[in-house]
Amino acid sequence: MTDLASVLPDDPLRSEVEQFARSHRLAERSATLDAHPEFPWAEYRSMGREGWLGLTLSPDQGGRGLPLRRAGAVLQEFAYWAGTAFAKLSLQPEFTSVIGAQGSAELRARFAIPLARGELLIGNQVTEPQAGSDLSRLSAKVQHRGDRLVLSGTKSQVAFAADAQAALVYVRPADSPVGGGGVSAYIVPQDLPGIRREVVEDLGERWMRRGTVTYDSVEISPAHLVGEPGRALEYLKGELTHERALLGAIYLGVARASWEETVREVGERVVFEEPLSRQEAVAFPLVEDGTRLAAAWLFVERVLERLDRGERADDAAAMSKWLATHVALTALDHAIQFHGGRGYSKELPHEQRWRDVRSGMLAHGTSEVMHRIAARRRWPAARAADRKAA
Ligand SMILES: Cc1cc2nc3c(=O)[nH]c(=O)nc-3n(C[C@H](O)[C@H](O)[C@H](O)COP(=O)(O)OP(=O)(O)OC[C@H]3O[C@@H](n4cnc5c(N)ncnc54)[C@H](O)[C@@H]3O)c2cc1C
């Protein structure tokens, strides 16, 4: 039977992930984090110590220096054994990789390296109440006050609103109108006076404790600027391209777990005096899911290889996230369905996996924005407005 496991690369790191996941009981921890959301500091530190954070970042940025293709296989394996949580934790240093790539030596030493060691958690704060898909609408501002900078505005929907010790905050100069350019990113410690943090309750990935962070005249040092002023969105676009393809690998790994469990279940459960697998209405969708998961993996892997070669593949990376999320959610929905009433309950992991993977249609660019990126590559004369989406 065609399935995802049959097309995965034979990489020794995959069995190392399995050992790590088993010895740290990551699957059980993932379920607990859903019921009682908190940041998993102990596991995060262990991942940092054992080299599982920042897989694709260069060693001088504290990373492991793996090609994206191998990192994809590792992340898929984390997701297979324990859902999205620890796979996404592994990717966390990549979400702010601009610090290591563009930051000063001091910023790298103080923030990027401790992040990759699991000693520090840094959030990424881009989205605002009026600016999500359309980042030209960002309105948080920074202005000079003597030799300091003062930051004001609201960041919303951001992961780790409650737990990040520092955040990369995207702001425009006070004299740049909304809709204009000039957005820069600053590292902002989250315990400064004038910062208020509120958590919202999420459908899934509840351990991220997303929420709103409000900056009311918060003083920061100009030395916390990352890279050149006004170039933050350009850096972000490059970072997002890599992340999107890697996220695709994660969603497929989660779905692979539920698919395999469902295949076993329907082979064993007897209904109307024969195994459920004898019913075509049950067996055919599962055969299709296995094929789609394998095909989506091969696409994700090809995109990662292209990115490893330095080719431009922002459109393919965007669509790989969409495809993987879509295929994974369909398989997870079938897992819920074919486990019957238990599938819909917390007795089994499928409903949590579905809720966690569902974020893939929204986070790191929505599915609709992924289509816009692919469409504008296909038809380059697309309207100027299309160039605003990251
Ligand atoms: C789990 C999760 C984690 C997140 N983590 C972070 C984080 O750490 N940091 C951060 O900054 N942000 C984070 N976000 C926010 C995320 O990036 C935004 O939610 C996303 O970019 C969409 O922005 P929005 O919510 O403002 O929706 P909007 O941009 O208002 O879009 C609303 C709907 O309209 C659709 N839409 C918008 N424009 C178009 C168009 N032109 N054509 C067709 N459809 C369109 C969208 O696809 C969406 O369905 C996170 C979100 C989630 C769900």
Same domain for 289 and 145: no
Same domain for 249 and 380: yes
- Domain final position from 56, 84, 116: 116
Kindly report, residue by residue over 231-255, the tens digit of the pLDDT: 999 999 999 999 999 999 999 999 9
For ligand 1, atom 36, the nearest C-alpha belongs to: 368
* C-alpha span between 73 and 16 (Å, rounded): 12
Q: What are the respective helix, strand and coil percentages of the chain, to the nearest 5?
A: 55, 15, 30
Q: With cut-offs at 50, 70 and 90, classify the pLDDT of residue 12.
A: very high
Measured from the CB, is residue 157 less than 6 Å from ligand 1?
A: yes
* Total count of domains within the chain: 3
Q: How far is the CA of 161 from the centre of ligand 1 (A)?
A: 16
For ligand 1, atom 45, the nearest C-alpha belongs to: 368
Residue 216 sits in a domain whose CATH number is 2.40.110.10
Q: What is the mean pLDDT of residues 11-25?
A: 98
**Domain limits for position 315:** 233-388
**Which residues is 214 bridged to in the sheet?**
154, 196
Q: How far is the CA of 157 from the centre of ligand 1 (A)?
A: 9
Q: With cut-offs at 50, 70 and 90, classify the pLDDT of residue 19.
A: very high
pLDDT of amino acid 1? 59
* C-alpha span between 157 and 343 (Å, rounded): 29
Q: What is the mean pLDDT of residues 65-75?
A: 98
Task: Specify the DSSP class assigned to residue 124.
Answer: E
In contact, 321 and 370? CB cutoff 8 Å = yes
Same domain for 383 and 278: yes
Same domain for 214 and 263: no
Is the confidence at residue 161, as pLDDT, over 60?
yes
Task: Specify the DSSP class assigned to residue 177.
Answer: P
Q: With cut-offs at 50, 70 and 90, classify the pLDDT of residue 380.
A: confident
Same domain for 139 and 279: no
Distance of CA 314 to the CA centre of its chain: 16
pLDDT of amino acid 6? 96
Q: How far is the CA of 367 from the centre of ligand 1 (A)?
A: 9
Residue 55 sits in a domain whose CATH number is 1.10.540.10
Is the confidence at residue 384, as pLDDT, over 60?
no
Kindly report, residue by residue over 87-107, the tens digit of the pLDDT: 999 999 999 999 999 999 999
Is the confidence at residue 337, as pLDDT, over 60?
yes
**Token output for 99:** 């610090």
pLDDT of amino acid 149? 97
Could you tell me the sign of the dihedral formed by the alpha carbons of 225, 169, 315, 52, in that order?
Answer: positive
Task: From 316, 281, 283, select the one nearest 68 (Cα to Cα).
Answer: 316
Same domain for 275 and 183: no
- Domain final position from 209, 228, 247: 228
Same domain for 338 and 245: yes
Q: With cut-offs at 50, 70 and 90, classify the pLDDT of residue 218.
A: very high
Q: How far is the CA of 64 from the centre of ligand 1 (A)?
A: 30
H/E stretch holding 23: helix 12-23
What 3-state class would DSSP assign to 219?
Answer: strand
- Which residues, at least 6 apart from 170, have a Cβ–Cβ distance to it below 8 Å? 125, 126, 135, 138, 140, 183, 184, 185, 232, 233, 236
Q: With cut-offs at 50, 70 and 90, classify the pLDDT of residue 180.
A: confident
Same domain for 341 and 254: yes
Same domain for 203 and 74: no
Is the confidence at residue 387, as pLDDT, over 90?
no
pLDDT of amino acid 259? 98
pLDDT of amino acid 194? 98
Q: How far is the CA of 174 from the centre of ligand 1 (A)?
A: 25
Q: What is the mean pLDDT of residues 350-354?
A: 98
Same domain for 264 and 374: yes
**Token output for 3:** 């399935």
Measured from the CB, is residue 138 less than 6 Å from ligand 1?
A: no
**Token output for 210:** 């997303």
Distance of CA 128 to the CA centre of its chain: 18
Is the confidence at residue 382, as pLDDT, over 90?
no
Closest atom of ligand 1 to 366 CA is 47
What proportion of the chain, given as a percentage, has pLDDT over 70? 97
- Domain final position from 60, 92, 116: 116
Same domain for 237 and 224: no
Q: With cut-offs at 50, 70 and 90, classify the pLDDT of residue 2.
A: confident
Q: With cut-offs at 50, 70 and 90, classify the pLDDT of residue 390.
A: low
Measured from the CB, is residue 241 less than 6 Å from ligand 1?
A: no
Residue 339 sits in a domain whose CATH number is 1.20.140.10
Task: Specify the DSSP class assigned to residue 371.
Answer: H
* C-alpha span between 253 and 328 (Å, rounded): 9
* C-alpha span between 6 and 260 (Å, rounded): 12
pLDDT of amino acid 383? 57
Same domain for 339 and 318: yes
Measured from the CB, is residue 210 less than 6 Å from ligand 1?
A: yes
Q: How many helices (H) and strands (E) does the chain have?
A: 14, 10
